[in-house]
Structure 1
């Protein structure tokens, strides 16, 4: 059996205000071609189909289009919900969808009820563990009288206890695949993941998943291998500049009669690259070596000693996809690192206003500006000195 492992689509997400839905549709619809070319039997999606619990109608339409294309290409689909999804909404009509080959695993109470799919070697059990909010999931799991420890480790340990109990009760050797949306120790996060910290702890050990032939992980956006059978596919597109070095991809997983046989990476196309530029405004606007970044999404840091006027508009004339701008003058800000009490000590209102102008603009007020400040504070009687 050949499995395609993907996750963290985040349909409907924007990138610094830019709409990504068209790029998401193009990249993910291309997975249907991979299914055909590689003879994929099952596509597993480990959570975060959508970027928000109540997605837009456009995002739902794109998701429907992609899932339909995967089914038409010949693959069954097994998916579970992530921390960005609404599990009840995503799992609605699950029984009806299963008839068409779309298997939705979003209920905590059903996480030990596998989707059973067959190949020439027999059955493979696919278990979906939705994102487990620790307190909510613990209360749900404890209803049968079984004690469940608190935190992510507690609820995932209980989830895997139930899954392994179901597996062992099936008799003989049943191959298994688990989909889980979680932060497993050893994984490397990025800036675009929503934190799931509870009590200061968000990670669970890899040992929780012992005994499973393949664990398809979701939540972290970089593709990575924690163990041969324990992997993150990562997101199909970059959702932060911290991901600009990621090679976005999916995993192609082969199971034989004995379990995991092989895993291969399939690299996904990049609709638009990401780059980071640093320099003075004049350099960025004129230097020819920056031309290669003109079609990228750009995060730009200006190092001019004085904050330039209207820099983003001027930069976007050359770099139309510049989306983030920061200013860090080469010499640093005058009051950088000072606590508030140190920055205001011994200064009157006029001095504080002058310091504020200098910090924001990167240059001291000139004589005309100082005279205007003097007139303004004189008119309101403000010459109080801060001690």
Structure 2
């Protein structure tokens, strides 16, 4: 049996405010094409199908289209809910969908009730473990004390092993789980699932099954030969710009896990972090390769540029983030040290210089007049403390 492991679609997610539905559609179309090309029997998706509990209508349509394309390509589908999904919404109509080859697991009650499929070697049991919030599911799983991700997952796997023990010894098993397993490497775009500071579970919790398809972490990685993350189909942070997105192709033979092959997904749109002045970024030939990428720009201009994003997007239409980096060597000592023993006018001028650039003579005259006016309005009881606050307000307005 050939199984394709993909996860963390996060349909409906935005990237620094940019709608990613078109990128996600292209990536999921590629998954469907792989199903047809490699004659895949089953596609497993362990969680975070959607990016939010209440997805938009467009996100739901894209998800439905992706399932339809995968099913039309010849594969059945097994899905679990992740920490971003609403179990009730994702699981709506699950029993009806199963008749059409889409098996959706979103409840604790279903953990020990697999979807069973067969090949020439016999049965394969697919167990879906949805994301388990310890406080919400501990009682149902019989966990009395020590409520943690590890304890509830251990209890869930106990149900899996109990069901396997009742089946024919030749039955092979695949578990889908959405969890942070020790040894996995986060990318920074995952939402924390920590409870009391502990969010990880040991890989040993999954002993006794042939393959564990994990979701939650966004880069493809092997925790153990039979325990793997597929990662997300497109990047969701600039920390993922060096990661090549992929899926795992698993082959089960008569004895269990056979070959596992990584298949890279096409790059929908690259990510680049560029550094330089606005003029350099907009004109230098060495940045040409990033013109169609999502761009995060680190600006090194000596003075904070005005309307820099507009200028950048003339060359990089997909620029989504920028920051100004104070030039190296500038005085960044503590504000308190800068104001001791200085006049209000000097404090204001220094503040404006630090935040923007040195004020012109005309601006200095305006600032001085504003400081004098602010000081004149202060009540005599607060005259010792007011000037610094007034100076900061005036400087920020300038």
For normalisation by structure 2, the TM-score amounts to: 0.91
Equivalent position SS for 1:177? strand
Distance 1:90 1:282, change over 3 A: same
Equivalent position SS for 1:263? strand
Deviations 1:138-164 (A, max 9, x none): 13323xxx5353111111111111111
Larger mean CA deviation between 364-373 and 89-98 belongs to 364-373
User: How far off is 1:322 after superposition?
Assistant: 1.0
Specify the alignment match of 1:64 in structure 2. Answer: 64
Alignment check: 8 A CA contact 2:30 2:266 kept: no
What is the RMSD computed on CA atoms of the aligned residues?
1.8
Alignment check: 8 A CA contact 2:213 2:228 kept: yes
Deviations 1:226-260 (A, max 9, x none): 11101000000011100001110111000001000
Gaps of 5+ in 2: 390-398
CA distance in 2, matches of 1:234, 1:45: 10
CA distance in 1, matches of 2:293, 2:239: 14
Alignment check: 8 A CA contact 2:123 2:170 kept: no
- Superposed, 1:1-387 pairs within 5 Å as 1-142=1-142, 147=144, 149-331=146-328, 334-335=331-332, 338=334, 341-342=336-337, 345-346=340-341, 349-361=344-356, 363-381=357-375, 384=384
Gaps of 5+ in 1: none
Q: How many residues are matched?
A: 381
Alignment check: 8 A CA contact 1:254 1:260 kept: yes
CA distance in 2, matches of 1:353, 1:88: 57
Larger mean CA deviation between 344-353 and 280-289 belongs to 344-353
CA distance in 2, matches of 1:345, 1:187: 50
CA distance in 1, matches of 2:161, 2:369: 78
Q: Which 4+ runs in 1 deviate beyond 6 A?
A: none
CA distance in 2, matches of 1:344, 1:94: 66
CA distance in 2, matches of 1:220, 1:346: 53
CA distance in 1, matches of 2:51, 2:343: 49
User: How far off is 1:384 after superposition?
Assistant: 4.1
Alignment check: 8 A CA contact 1:33 1:73 kept: yes
Alignment check: 8 A CA contact 1:9 1:50 kept: yes
Alignment check: 8 A CA contact 2:122 2:170 kept: no
